[in-house]
Structure 1
Amino acid sequence: MQDTLVAGGAGPHPGDPAPSDAQNQQAHLLRHRISVVDPSAPTGPGETLDGSAPAALSFGDDILKITPLGAGREVGRSCVLVEFRGCSVLLDCGIHPGRQGPASLPYLDHINPAKIDLVLVSHFHLDHIGALPYLTERTKGFKAPVYMTHATKAIGHLLIKDYLRVSGSLINDADESSSSHLLPFNETDMIRCFHRAREVNFHQSVTVAGVRFSAAYAGHVLGGAVFSLEFPGGVRVVYTGDYSREEDRHLPAAELPALVGNPGDGAAPGVDVLICESTYGKQDHMPRAEREQLLTAAIRTTVLDRGGRVLLPVFASGRAQELLLILEEYWASHPELRHVPVYYASELAEMCLREYRRWTNSMNDRVRRAMNVERRNPFVFRHITSLTNRAAELLDGRDGGLPCVVVASPGMLQSGLSRQLFDAWCDDERNMVIIAGYCVEGTLAKHILKSRSDITTLDGRQKPLKMDVRSISFSAHVDFTQNAGYIAQVAPAHLVLVHGERGQMDRLASQLHAMAEGSLSVAGVGPMRPDMVIHTPENTEAVSLRVQMPQVATVVGKLADRVAVQLGPDGEVEGRDPGTASARAGPDADNVLVEGVLVRRNYQAHLLAPEDVEAFTSHVVHIGGAVAQSLTVPLAPPAGTRPPSFGAPSKPGAEPPASGRIWRRVVRALAAIYSVRPLVDPADRGVDMRRLPDSVDFEVMETVRLSYVPPPADDSKALLADPDLAFGSVELSWTGAGSTGNGALADVIADAVVAIILRVTSSPLGAPARPARVAAK
Structure 2
Amino acid sequence: MFQVEVWGGAGEHGRSCYHVQFGQRSVLLDCGVKKGQKKEETYPKLDADKVRMLTTVFLSHAHEDHSMAIPLLYRHGYTGVVWTTRSTVRQLANYYAKWQQYVQDAGDELPYTSEHMEQVRYRFVEDMAPPGQWFTVEPGMQACWGPSGHLAGSIWLLLCVDGQTLFYSGDYCQDSRLLAANLPDLRYVRDLQVGILDAAYADDEATQEQLVDDLVSACKQVLERGGHVWLPVPIYGRGHEIIDVLAEALPGTEIVCDTGLEVSFQAMLEEEQWFKTEELHLYKQRWSSRVQVLTREQLLHKSTSLKKAIFVTSDPMLQSKASAKLVEAFATSPNNALIMTGHVYPGTLAARLLAAEQSVPRVLHYRYKVHQGLPDVARMLDGLKPKFSLLVHAPKAKTDRLKAKLTARGYDHVYSCAPGDQLVFCGRTLGTATSND
TM-score by length of 2: 0.87
Residue from 539, 546, 551 that aligns with 2:419: 539
Partners in 2 of 1:488 and 1:321 — Cα distance?
A: 31
Partners in 2 of 1:316 and 1:423 — Cα distance?
A: 22
Partners in 2 of 1:276 and 1:386 — Cα distance?
A: 37
Does the 8 Å contact 2:30/2:67 carry over to 1?
Answer: yes
1:250 aligns with: 178
Matches within 5 A, 1:543-554: 543-547=423-427
Deviation at 1:64, TM superposition (A): 0.8
Does the 8 Å contact 2:2/2:426 carry over to 1?
Answer: yes
Distance 1:278 1:363, change over 3 A: same
Partners in 2 of 1:218 and 1:115 — Cα distance?
A: 29
Partner SS state of residue 203, structure 1: coil
Does the 8 Å contact 2:327/2:361 carry over to 1?
Answer: no
Distance 1:485 1:436, change over 3 A: same
- Equivalent residue letter for 2:141: V
Deviation at 1:534, TM superposition (A): 2.1
Deviation at 1:69, TM superposition (A): 0.5
1:386 aligns with: 293
Which has the larger share of helix? 2
Partner SS state of residue 214, structure 2: helix
Q: Does 1:318 align with 2:248?
A: no
Residue from 336, 346, 350 that aligns with 1:431: 336
Cα-to-partner distance string for 1:285-333 (whole Å, 9 max, x where unaligned): 2442x43333333323323x333221101111101111122233345xx
Deviation at 1:502, TM superposition (A): 1.1
Cα-to-partner distance string for 1:533-587 (whole Å, 9 max, x where unaligned): 12222212111112369xxxxxxxxxxxxxxxxxxxxxxxxxxxxxxxxxxxxxx
Deviation at 1:476, TM superposition (A): 0.5
Does the 8 Å contact 1:221/1:251 carry over to 2?
Answer: yes
Distance 1:107 1:405, change over 3 A: same
Partner SS state of residue 112, structure 1: helix
Partner SS state of residue 409, structure 2: helix
Deviation at 1:227, TM superposition (A): 0.4
1:237 aligns with: 166
Deviation at 1:143, TM superposition (A): 1.0
Query: Highest Rg: 1 or 2?
Result: 1
Deviation at 1:142, TM superposition (A): 0.8
- Equivalent residue letter for 1:311: W
Cα-to-partner distance string for 1:644-671 (whole Å, 9 max, x where unaligned): xxxxxxxxxxxxxxxxxxxxxxxxxxxx
Partner SS state of residue 421, structure 2: coil
Matches within 5 A, 1:165-564: 165-168=101-104, 181-187=108-114, 189-193=116-120, 196-201=121-126, 202-209=131-138, 210-232=140-162, 234-246=163-175, 248-252=176-180, 254-258=181-185, 268-288=189-209, 290-303=210-223, 305-330=224-249, 334=251, 336-337=252-253, 340=254, 342-346=255-259, 348-367=260-279, 370=281, 377=284, 380-391=287-298, 393-394=300-301, 399-400=304-305, 403-415=308-320, 417-426=322-331, 428-449=333-354, 451-453=355-357, 465-516=359-410, 528=411, 532-547=412-427
Partner SS state of residue 101, structure 2: helix
Does the 8 Å contact 2:387/2:428 carry over to 1?
Answer: no
TM-align CA RMSD: 2.8
Partners in 1 of 2:332 and 2:23 — Cα distance?
A: 59
Partner SS state of residue 88, structure 1: strand
Matches within 5 A, 1:626-641: none
Distance 1:211 1:125, change over 3 A: same
Q: Does 1:73 align with 2:11?
A: yes
Does the 8 Å contact 1:535/1:543 carry over to 2?
Answer: no
1:593 aligns with: none
Partners in 2 of 1:273 and 1:412 — Cα distance?
A: 34
Does the 8 Å contact 1:314/1:409 carry over to 2?
Answer: yes
Partners in 1 of 2:367 and 2:198 — Cα distance?
A: 17
Stretch of structure 1 that moved more, 487-496 or 411-420: 411-420
Deviation at 1:442, TM superposition (A): 4.4
Partners in 1 of 2:382 and 2:352 — Cα distance?
A: 35
Partners in 1 of 2:261 and 2:58 — Cα distance?
A: 25
1:648 aligns with: none
Partner SS state of residue 104, structure 2: coil
Deviation at 1:192, TM superposition (A): 4.4
Distance 1:355 1:189, change over 3 A: farther
- Equivalent residue letter for 1:206: F
Percent identity, aligned pairs only?
25
Stretch of structure 1 that moved more, 207-216 or 484-493: 207-216
Partners in 2 of 1:96 and 1:510 — Cα distance?
A: 26
Cα-to-partner distance string for 1:49-75 (whole Å, 9 max, x where unaligned): xxxxxxxxxxxxxx3110110113111
In structure 1, the gaps of 5 or more residues are: 1-62, 170-177, 260-264, 454-463, 517-527, 550-777
Partners in 2 of 1:107 and 1:502 — Cα distance?
A: 17
Equivalent residue pairs, number: 424
Deviation at 1:447, TM superposition (A): 4.8
- Equivalent residue letter for 1:255: N
Matches within 5 A, 1:723-738: none
Matches within 5 A, 1:134-145: 134-136=72-74, 138-139=75-76, 141-145=77-81
Partners in 2 of 1:79 and 1:380 — Cα distance?
A: 36
Distance 1:108 1:256, change over 3 A: same
Does the 8 Å contact 1:229/1:237 carry over to 2?
Answer: yes
- Equivalent residue letter for 1:425: F
Partners in 2 of 1:295 and 1:359 — Cα distance?
A: 28
TM-score by length of 1: 0.51
Partners in 2 of 1:94 and 1:391 — Cα distance?
A: 34
Distance 1:110 1:535, change over 3 A: farther
Deviation at 1:125, TM superposition (A): 0.9
Cα-to-partner distance string for 1:143-202 (whole Å, 9 max, x where unaligned): 121011221122122222233235437xxxxxxxx96x3322355544543xx1111123
Does the 8 Å contact 2:300/2:326 carry over to 1?
Answer: no
Partner SS state of residue 237, structure 1: strand
Deviation at 1:477, TM superposition (A): 0.7
Deviation at 1:443, TM superposition (A): 4.1
Distance 1:297 1:548, change over 3 A: closer
Deviation at 1:84, TM superposition (A): 1.1
Deviation at 1:351, TM superposition (A): 2.4
Distance 1:400 1:216, change over 3 A: closer
Deviation at 1:98, TM superposition (A): 1.9
Partners in 1 of 2:236 and 2:220 — Cα distance?
A: 24
2:88 aligns with: 152
Partners in 2 of 1:159 and 1:420 — Cα distance?
A: 22
Does the 8 Å contact 1:102/1:182 carry over to 2?
Answer: no
Partner SS state of residue 82, structure 1: strand
* Higher RCO (CA-CA < 8 Å; seq separation 6+): 2
Deviation at 1:365, TM superposition (A): 4.0
Partners in 1 of 2:340 and 2:22 — Cα distance?
A: 41
Deviation at 1:380, TM superposition (A): 4.8
Matches within 5 A, 1:91-110: 91-99=29-37, 103-109=41-47
1:83 aligns with: 21
Partner SS state of residue 191, structure 2: coil
Deviation at 1:271, TM superposition (A): 0.7
- Equivalent residue letter for 1:434: I
- Equivalent residue letter for 1:293: D
Partners in 2 of 1:101 and 1:424 — Cα distance?
A: 31
- Equivalent residue letter for 1:74: E
Distance 1:286 1:345, change over 3 A: same
Partners in 2 of 1:102 and 1:282 — Cα distance?
A: 28
- Equivalent residue letter for 2:297: R
Does the 8 Å contact 1:102/1:183 carry over to 2?
Answer: no
Deviation at 1:377, TM superposition (A): 3.9
Deviation at 1:388, TM superposition (A): 1.9
Cα-to-partner distance string for 1:379-410 (whole Å, 9 max, x where unaligned): 85322122224357349x7x456533211233
- Equivalent residue letter for 2:21: E
